[in-house]
């Protein structure tokens, strides 16, 4: 199993985890889909371009060993990207589409309303499930600390 890695700066330290701030748009310049993807533009428009993520301790680096302002590398399993994408995008679209098909006998307006209700309901259920599980959805691994960084913050690395 491979790991996706991201470099970021430690902004808060807890007993078993650290909060890492990474530049969301740094990876956009390296992505093959950058011209057709709105993530970079959306991040720039809605936020400052940085994101904070909680990374738990690992065997390689413990949270208590990290200091504020230090650059660290965090990792997440590649499988989390696929399962997370399906759970967050695929499942709500599937539920919404099924609701629209089931309501299609009542006309177009009812079908559109059912699609919207299915989509909103699915996202609400995911939100409640995430809150119930402490912010972590099932099948999605929390990022973990990998090592201290020797490279500039925000550089996207892929390791096998």
Which residues, 6+ apart, have CB-to-CB distance to 28 below 8 Å?
Answer: 34, 37, 39, 40
Confidence at residue 107, expressed as pLDDT on a 0 to 100 scale: 94
Residue 126, H or E segment: helix 108-132
pLDDT at 35: 56
> Are 103 and 110 a contacting pair, CB within 8 Å?
yes
User: Which pLDDT score, from 0 to 100, does residue 94 have?
Assistant: 96
Burial 47-85 (b: 16+ CB within 10 A, else e): eebbeebbbbbeeebebeebeeeebbbbbbbeebeebee
Cβ-contact 1, 82 below 8 angstroms: no
Task: Give the pLDDT confidence of 71-112 residue by residue, as tens digits.
Answer: 999 988 888 878 888 888 999 999 999 999 999 999 999 999
Q: What is the pLDDT of residue 121?
A: 96
Instruction: Determine the Cα–Cα distance for residues 86 and 66; give it in Å rounded to an integer.
Output: 33
* Percent of the chain whose predicted confidence (pLDDT) is above 70: 76
Residues 6 or more apart whose CB falls under 8 angstroms from that of 71 comprise 7, 8, 9, 10, 148, 149, 153
Q: What is the pLDDT of residues 59-69, one digit of tens each?
A: 889 989 999 99
Residue 34's pLDDT is what? 53
The model carries a pTM of 0.61
Query: pLDDT at position 45, please?
Result: 46
Q: Which helix (H) or strand (E) holds 44?
A: helix 39-46
In the predicted structure, residue 156 carries a pLDDT above the cut 50: no
């Amino acid at each position: 199993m491979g790991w996706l890695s991201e470099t970021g700066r430690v902004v808060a330290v807890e007993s078993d985890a650290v909060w890492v701030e990474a530049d969301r748009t740094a990876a956009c310049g390296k992505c093959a889909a950058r011209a057709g993807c709105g993530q970079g533009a959306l991040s720039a428009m809605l936020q400052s371009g940085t994101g904070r993520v909680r990374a738990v301790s690992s065997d390689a680096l413990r949270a208590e060993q990290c200091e504020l302002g230090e650059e660290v590398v965090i990792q997440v399993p590649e499988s989390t990207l696929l399962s997370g994408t399906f759970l967050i995008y695929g499942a709500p679209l599937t539920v919404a589409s099924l609701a629209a098909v089931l309501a299609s006998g009542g006309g177009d307006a009812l079908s559109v309303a059912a699609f919207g209700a299915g989509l909103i309901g699915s996202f609400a259920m995911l939100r409640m499930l995430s809150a119930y599980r402490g912010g972590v959805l099932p099948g999605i691994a929390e990022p973990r600390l990998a090592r201290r960084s020797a490279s500039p913050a925000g550089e996207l690395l892929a390791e096998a």
